[in-house]
A and B are shown apart, each in its own frame.
Chain A
Amino acid sequence: MSNNALAPLLSRRHFLSHTAGGLGGVALAWMLNREQSHAGALGPHFPPKAKRVIQIFCCGGVSHIDTFDYKPELARLHGKTLEGKGENLGFFGQPGRVMKSPYEFRQHGKSGAWVSSLLPNIAGCVDDLCFIHSMFAKSNNHTPATFQMNTGFTMNGFPCMGAWLSYGLGSTNENLPTFVVLPDRRGLPAGGSINWTSGFLPANHQGVPFRSSSAEPIVDLRTPANIAPNARNADLQLLAQMNHRFADAHPGDDAFAARLHSYELAARMQSSIPEATNLDGELDSVKKLYGLGEESNKGFAQNCLMARRLLERGVRFVQIFNGGAFGSPRINWDGHENLKENHDTQAATMDKPIAGLIQDLKNRGMFEDTLLVWNTEFGRSPSTQGLNSPGRDHHPTVFTCFLAGAGVKRGYHHGSSDEVGYFVAENKVTVPDFHATILHLLGIDHEKLTFYHNGINRRLTNVEGEVIKEILS
C-alpha cells in the first residue's frame, strides 16, 4: 500500500482481510490497530539492493543457442537427427535436423563470456552482466509462457510483477505512475493490456502503458484543445471548492480528502509526464550512445532512453517490450521460418540500445541501485522446425536470461544447458525462482508479499520459488 493519502481506498478491513487471510476477528482487530499505527507501504522486508527495475521483455522466444549459450556440439551434429531427448517439445511438432548456429561465437571481456556475432554491442558489456543459462518455462506456447514470465501463472488474470511491486513497495514519486509499460512501437504484444494487468490487485497497481511516440504519452493526459488553459484552471478551482465543501461537510471519510488530492496529482502529472518523456534535452552524445534515430532499432532506442528518464524521476518499474504480436511480417523473435533472417532483424532493434542503456546507467551512477532484467518467454529448438526449413521451434526446457546492476554479480554465469542446449544440465532456474530473486533484490521476501483472493493468499511465486543465492553480489 502506498505511503500517501491515495492508498487504495479499499476499506482497511477489506485490505486486512486480504492480507491476513483466515485470521479470526480478534486477531484482525489487533492487526487493524497495528495497521493504523504503522500506516505505510507493505515493504520492503529488509534493506533492498535495487531501488528500481527496468525489464526488457523480448517477445517471441529468443534463441539461447544463437545468442549467449554457445554449443559447439551443434556443428558436429549439424544435419543429423537429434536422439535421446524424449517427446518433441516444439509447438508444431515437426522436428527436423540439428542446425548449427548461423552465427560465429567468440569470447568477450575479462570474463570471457561467449556471445554470438548477432549481438556485438551487448557482447561489449558482458563483464557487467549476470547470465542465467538454465531457465525453465512451464509452457511451450507463447502466451501462457509470457503470462508466466510476467505473472508467475500461465493463465489470464494474474497480477504482473510490476503490479506486485507497486502493491508491495508503493510509489517514490506520486507525480508519475509507479509501473510504466513501454510497448514496442511496431505493435503491442499478443493480449495487449492483459500483459500489464493488476489482475485481482487493486487497479491502481496496474501498468500504465505509455504511447512513447505520441504527443499525448498517456490517454486523457491533455486538456481538450477546445478548453483554454485559463478556463481549465478556473474550472479546477471551482471543482476544488465544491469538493472541499463536500469533504468539510462530511468529516471522517478519508476517501473524500483523497479525491481532492487525486486532482492535485493529476494536474501535476499533466506537466511531469510530458517532461519525463521529452527526449529533446538529452545530450547528443547520450542519444548517440543509444542509437537514437537509427532506423534499424525501430524506435527501441527512444524507449530505452525514456525508460532511463522515468527511472531517474522515481518510477519504480519500467517494462519495455522488444517485439509485438505474432503475425506476418514478424515483429518479434518467433523465428519459425528462418531463424537467421528473423534474429538478424530483431537483434538490430535491441543490441545497441541495450548496450547504450547499460553504459548510460553506469555513467550516471544508477547502475548500482537499478536492476536490469532481460528476458524472453522461452528459447528455441536445437533442431530445425521441419526437415527443410532453416527455422527453429519453441523450446521451453532450457533458455537464457540475464540480470544486471544492483545486487547481482558481474561477468557471471549461472547454470548451464546440456551439450546441445536441450535440457538444463545444472542449477535449474524456474520462473518462480527468477521472480523470487528479483523480489529479493528489491528487499522483498517473496513468501510474504501476499494478497488474499478467492480462498488463497496469492503470491507472485505461487507455492514455489527459491532465491538464486549464487548470483547475489
Chain B
Amino acid sequence: MNARLIIALLLLAAFPVHGADQRNHWSLQPLHRPLVPSTAKGLSPIDAFIQAKLTEKNLAMSPMADRRTLIRRLSFDLLGIPPTPAEIDAFISDRSPRAYENLVERFLASPRYGERWGRHWLDVARYTESQGFEYDRLRNNAWHYRDYVIRSFNADKPFDRFMKEQIAGDALEPITQEGMIAVSLLVCGPWDQAGSAQANIAQRTNTREEELEDLIAVVGQSFLGLTVNCARCHAHKFDPIPHDEYYRIKSVFEGVRAGERPIATNVLSYIGTRVQPEPTKRFKRGDVNSPAEIVAPGALSAIAGLSADFGLAPDAPEATRRVKFAEWLADPRNPLPARVMANRVWQYHFGQGLVATPNDFGANGVRPTHPELLDWLASEFIASGWSLKSVHRLILNSAAYRQQSRANPKAAAIDSENQLLWRFSPRRLEAEELRDAMLVVSGEINSQMGGPSFRPFTISNFNSDFYEPKDLIGAEFNRRTVYRMNVNSGKEPLLDAFDCPDPSVKTPRRGVTTTPLQALALMNNSFVQRQATRLAERVLAENKSKNAAAIEAAYQHALGRRPDKTELAAAVAVAKERGLEHICWALLNSTEFVYVQ
C-alpha cells in the first residue's frame, strides 16, 4: 500500500465528510437479504460467506475439531460451564449422524443457557446493584431485572418484544409484571443520590442531565449501535444525528426517575419511577444555563423510511412517548437493531464481531469484515421472528464454528487476527466462567436459580457504604456468579483480576489481559484453594481413594480429558508425596483449564 493512500485514509478518518454522505453510511441503509455466494456444494450459507472471503486470500478453513474439543467449546459458550465427564463420554460415543446438532439443541434448552447469555446482556445494560457515586447504597430489589433477562433468554423471547419491554414494558398493553420489570434497563446504572438532592439548582440540573445522558447512551448503544449521547452538546461529529434530536429522545425519557415501584402487592423492585415532566428544551452546547427552543418527543431522522416524528406534542403523556419510541425502535424497517444484535451474538461465539465495535455502528466504528454475511444473518434473525436461538443454530452448526483452533503460520502471516476465520480462536474464560467452572469441577456448585443475590462481602457504613469482599463459605455462596450482588465499590479480587468489568461501564466487549495479579489470585485465593481441595476429596471418594484413578477423574473434570502416561506418572508421584489437592491446584491454575480451544 503506498504512502499517499495511507495519508488519504488517515485524513478521511480525521475529517469525516458530513451531510448526505453521512446519511449513506452502510449501517443506516435498509436491510436486504443478500444472495449467498455460490461456492462448493454442501456448504451452509454462513460457511459460503466465510469461504468466499478466505478464498480471496488463498486461505481455507481448518479441519473440524474433534468431539472432545467441540463439547467443551460448546458447553462453555452456551452454558458458561464445562461439560461433565459423563456428558463428554456420551457425546463421543454417540453414533447418531446428528449427534452434534442434538447437543446444540440440548444445550440451548438448558436453563444454564440463560444464565450465561443473560450475563452478556447485563454487561451491555451496565446492570449494577449499588448506586455508585458517593453513597453507593445497595439496591436490594434490583435483581428482578437480572432474572427477567435470564428468563427472556431461556424462553427465546422474540428480541423485538425484549427491546420494546425494556423501553416501555410498564406502558405496553396488556401490562404484565414481566413488562414492569423490564424497564429497569432505564435506571439500572449508577445514580448520584447526593447530587440529586443538593441545594444548588444549576448543579442539581446538571446531575440530572448526566443521568439522562447515561440513559440515552444505553438505549442508543445497546439497541441501535449509535452513540446518540455524543449529540448532547452539538450535532454528532461522525453520524447524522442533529443536536435537537438528542433532546427529542431526551424528551421521550424525561419522565423516568431512579427509584423503586411495586411490581406486585407488597413487592418493590428497582424499576424506576415516573413523573409527567415539563416540556423538554434544547440546551445550547449542552449547557443547562442556556435553554433554547422546546422540542417534541421523537426519534432519529437518520433511519430512512421511518418517521422520526411521533406526531406528539411536547407535553404528551410520558408513557405514550416511550411506547412510540419502542414501536419505532422495533419496526422491522429499522435496520439497526437486527444488525447490532446479530453482531453481538456472532461476537460472543467467535470472540470478535463482524463489526469490531459492537456499540458503535456509526462512522467512527469499524466497518464490518463481512458486510453481506452480517446482513444475511440480520435478515434471518428477523425472518425467524427475532429468535436468538435460531441465530445460535445457524452459527453453531456452521463449519466455521466447528473448526480446530490450531494456529497455522501461513494463514497467520496473512491474517494474524483471524478476522477471516481460518481457525477458531482460542478463548480465555471470562471471570464468571472461571469461578463457575471451579464450582462445577469441585462438585460444590449450587444450581439454584433466581431470587435475591448472594453477598460475598461485609458491609460497613461511614456515611457511604463500603463492601469488603469476603470469601464466605456456605451453599448460597456456591451459586453461579451471575447471582452475585454486583456492587460498584469493593471489587472481588479473583473476578476483578480476570477482567470482570466495572458494572457502571457499558461493556459490549470485555478486555482480556494476562497479568501477575491473575496468577497470584489463582495461586493463593482461598476460594481457589478450597475448590482444589474439594475436587481432590470428590475424586478420591468417587474412586475408592485410589490415586491413579482419582487423578484420571480430576483431569476429566477439569480438562475434559484423561492424562497421558507421562502426566499420570508425574501426578501419581506428586499425589503420593504432597497429596492429590496439589494436582488439583495445578489443574485449576493450568492454561488448559483457563482457555477454551
Q: Chain A interface (Cβ within 8 Å of chain B)?
A: 6, 8-14, 17, 20-30, 32, 36, 87-94, 139-144, 154-157, 174, 177, 187-188, 190-194, 197-204, 206, 208, 218-224, 231, 234-236, 238-239, 241-243, 246-247, 250-253, 255-256, 258-260, 262-263, 265-266, 268-270, 324-328, 331, 452, 454-457
User: Roughly how many angstroms separate A90 CA and B570 CA in the complex, as a whole number?
Assistant: 69
B128 to chain A: closest residue by CB: A156
Tell me which of A90, A140, A265 has the highest count of chain B C-beta atoms within 10 A of its own C-beta: A140
Contact residue among B136, B363, B518 (Cβ-Cβ distance under 8 Å from A191): B136
Check A14–B356 contact: CB distance below 8 A: yes
Check B221–A90 contact: CB distance below 8 A: no
Check A23–B13 contact: CB distance below 8 A: yes
Given contact pairs A208-B517, A325-B134, enumerate 19 new A-B contacts (beta carbons under 8 Å): A6-B514, A13-B419, A93-B198, A140-B203, A157-B126, A192-B136, A199-B502, A199-B505, A239-B590, A246-B590, A252-B412, A255-B428, A263-B519, A265-B516, A325-B462, A327-B461, A327-B464, A454-B359, A457-B364
User: Roughly how many angstroms separate A269 CA and B521 CA in the complex, as a whole number?
Assistant: 12
User: Roughly how many angstroms separate A457 CA and B406 CA in the complex, as a whole number?
Assistant: 34
Check A191–B134 contact: CB distance below 8 A: yes
B46 CB, min distance to chain A CBs, angstroms: 20
Bitwise, B565-588 to A at CB < 8 A (1) or not (0) is: 001001000100110001101100
Check B511–A224 contact: CB distance below 8 A: no
A93 to chain B: closest residue by CB: B199
Name 25 interchain pairs, CB-CB below 8 A, sorted by A.
A8-B514, A13-B352, A23-B13, A26-B9, A29-B1, A91-B200, A93-B198, A142-B194, A190-B136, A202-B499, A203-B497, A203-B498, A203-B499, A203-B515, A221-B524, A234-B582, A238-B583, A239-B590, A250-B597, A258-B514, A262-B515, A266-B519, A269-B516, A325-B463, A454-B217
In the complex, whether B277 has a CB less than 8 A from a CB of chain A is no
Which chain B positions have C-beta within 8 A of A259?
Answer: 514, 519, 591, 594
User: Roughly how many angstroms separate A13 CA and B206 CA in the complex, as a whole number?
Assistant: 38
B114 CB, min distance to chain A CBs, angstroms: 25
Check B590–A242 contact: CB distance below 8 A: yes
Check A26–B5 contact: CB distance below 8 A: yes
In the complex, whether B472 has a CB less than 8 A from a CB of chain A is no
B361 to chain A: closest residue by CB: A455
Contact residue among A155, A238, A251, A253 (Cβ-Cβ distance under 8 Å from B426): A253
Which chain B positions have C-beta within 8 A of A88?
Answer: 199-200
In the complex, whether B19 has a CB less than 8 A from a CB of chain A is no
In the complex, whether B82 has a CB less than 8 A from a CB of chain A is no
Known: A144-B207, A156-B190. A10 touches B512 (CB 8 A): yes
B280 CB, min distance to chain A CBs, angstroms: 21
Interface positions, chain B 521-563, Cβ under 8 Å from A, are: 521, 523-526, 529
User: Roughly how many angstroms separate A25 CA and B466 CA in the complex, as a whole number?
Assistant: 46
User: Roughly how many angstroms separate A142 CA and B463 CA in the complex, as a whole number?
Assistant: 13
User: Roughly how many angstroms separate A170 CA and B504 CA in the complex, as a whole number?
Assistant: 26
Interface stretch, picked from B147-155, B305-313, B486-494, is B486-494
Known: A192-B489, A192-B490, A224-B526. A156 touches B504 (CB 8 A): yes
User: Roughly how many angstroms separate A266 CA and B512 CA in the complex, as a whole number?
Assistant: 18
Check B574–A234 contact: CB distance below 8 A: yes
A34 CB, min distance to chain B CBs, angstroms: 10
Check A140–B200 contact: CB distance below 8 A: yes
Check B192–A143 contact: CB distance below 8 A: yes
Which chain B positions have C-beta within 8 A of A220?
Answer: 493-494, 517, 520-521, 523-525
Interface positions, chain B 494-514, Cβ under 8 Å from A, are: 494, 496-500, 502, 504-509, 511-514
Check A191–B488 contact: CB distance below 8 A: yes
User: Roughly how many angstroms separate A73 CA and B145 CA in the complex, as a whole number?
Assistant: 57
Which chain A positions have C-beta within 8 A of B507?
Answer: 200
Which chain A positions have C-beta within 8 A of B467?
Answer: 192
Interface positions, chain B 387-408, Cβ under 8 Å from A, are: 406-408
Interface positions, chain B 187-206, Cβ under 8 Å from A, are: 190, 192, 194-195, 198-203, 206
Contact residue among B192, B227, B578 (Cβ-Cβ distance under 8 Å from A455): B227
Bitwise, B232-253 to A at CB < 8 A (1) or not (0) is: 0000001000000000000000
Check A224–B199 contact: CB distance below 8 A: no
Known: A21-B13, A190-B464, A235-B585. A224 touches B524 (CB 8 A): yes
Which chain A positions have C-beta within 8 A of B481?
Answer: none
In the complex, whether B365 has a CB less than 8 A from a CB of chain A is yes
Check B133–A156 contact: CB distance below 8 A: yes
User: Roughly how many angstroms separate A222 CA and B524 CA in the complex, as a whole number?
Assistant: 7
The 9 closest A-B pairs by CB, nearest first: A93-B199, A252-B407, A455-B227, A192-B489, A13-B417, A266-B519, A327-B462, A327-B463, A265-B516
Which chain A positions have C-beta within 8 A of B331?
Answer: none
Contact residue among A231, A246, A455 (Cβ-Cβ distance under 8 Å from B360): A455
Which chain A positions have C-beta within 8 A of B66?
Answer: none
Interface positions, chain B 345-362, Cβ under 8 Å from A, are: 351-352, 356-357, 359-360, 362
Check A255–B426 contact: CB distance below 8 A: yes
User: Roughly how many angstroms separate A32 CA and B493 CA in the complex, as a whole number?
Assistant: 33
Which chain A positions have C-beta within 8 A of B276?
Answer: none
B33 CB, min distance to chain A CBs, angstroms: 24
User: Roughly how many angstroms separate A28 CA and B365 CA in the complex, as a whole number?
Assistant: 12
B513 CB, min distance to chain A CBs, angstroms: 4
Check B365–A22 contact: CB distance below 8 A: yes
User: Roughly how many angstroms separate A251 CA and B214 CA in the complex, as a whole number?
Assistant: 44
Check B352–A14 contact: CB distance below 8 A: yes
User: Roughly how many angstroms separate A253 CA and B426 CA in the complex, as a whole number?
Assistant: 8
User: Roughly how many angstroms separate A87 CA and B425 CA in the complex, as a whole number?
Assistant: 59
In the complex, whether B589 has a CB less than 8 A from a CB of chain A is yes
Contact residue among B132, B134, B198 (Cβ-Cβ distance under 8 Å from A140): B198
B26 CB, min distance to chain A CBs, angstroms: 12
In the complex, whether B6 has a CB less than 8 A from a CB of chain A is yes
B348 CB, min distance to chain A CBs, angstroms: 14
In the complex, whether B40 has a CB less than 8 A from a CB of chain A is no
Check B514–A22 contact: CB distance below 8 A: no
User: Roughly how many angstroms separate A78 CA and B416 CA in the complex, as a whole number?
Assistant: 71
B461 to chain A: closest residue by CB: A327
Check A455–B359 contact: CB distance below 8 A: yes
Contact residue among B356, B426, B525, B585 (Cβ-Cβ distance under 8 Å from A13): B356
B537 CB, min distance to chain A CBs, angstroms: 15
Which chain A positions have C-beta within 8 A of B221?
Answer: 454-455
User: Roughly how many angstroms separate A328 CA and B462 CA in the complex, as a whole number?
Assistant: 7
Check B203–A454 contact: CB distance below 8 A: no
A181 CB, min distance to chain B CBs, angstroms: 12
Which chain B positions have C-beta within 8 A of A14?
Answer: 352, 356, 417, 509
Which chain A positions have C-beta within 8 A of B357?
Answer: 17, 452, 454-455
User: Roughly how many angstroms separate A26 CA and B412 CA in the complex, as a whole number?
Assistant: 17
Check B582–A454 contact: CB distance below 8 A: no
A345 CB, min distance to chain B CBs, angstroms: 16
In the complex, whether B592 has a CB less than 8 A from a CB of chain A is yes
Which chain A positions have C-beta within 8 A of B505?
Answer: 156-157, 199-200
Contact residue among B192, B199, B490, B514 (Cβ-Cβ distance under 8 Å from A9): B514
Check A238–B586 contact: CB distance below 8 A: yes
Which chain A positions have C-beta within 8 A of B419?
Answer: 13
Which chain A positions have C-beta within 8 A of B583?
Answer: 238
Which chain A positions have C-beta within 8 A of B597?
Answer: 250
Which chain A positions have C-beta within 8 A of B210?
Answer: 144, 154-155
User: Roughly how many angstroms separate A29 CA and B420 CA in the complex, as a whole number?
Assistant: 13
Check A265–B365 contact: CB distance below 8 A: no
Contact residue among B12, B202, B514 (Cβ-Cβ distance under 8 Å from A87): B202
Known: A204-B513, A239-B586, A455-B359. A223 touches B524 (CB 8 A): yes
User: Roughly how many angstroms separate A455 CA and B229 CA in the complex, as a whole number?
Assistant: 10
User: Roughly how many angstroms separate A241 CA and B9 CA in the complex, as a whole number?
Assistant: 47
Which chain A positions have C-beta within 8 A of B586?
Answer: 235, 238-239, 242
Which chain A positions have C-beta within 8 A of B16?
Answer: 22
In the complex, whether B366 has a CB less than 8 A from a CB of chain A is yes
A275 CB, min distance to chain B CBs, angstroms: 15
Which chain B positions have C-beta within 8 A of A6?
Answer: 514-516
Bitwise, B417-441 to A at CB < 8 A (1) or not (0) is: 1010000011010000000000000
B526 CB, min distance to chain A CBs, angstroms: 7
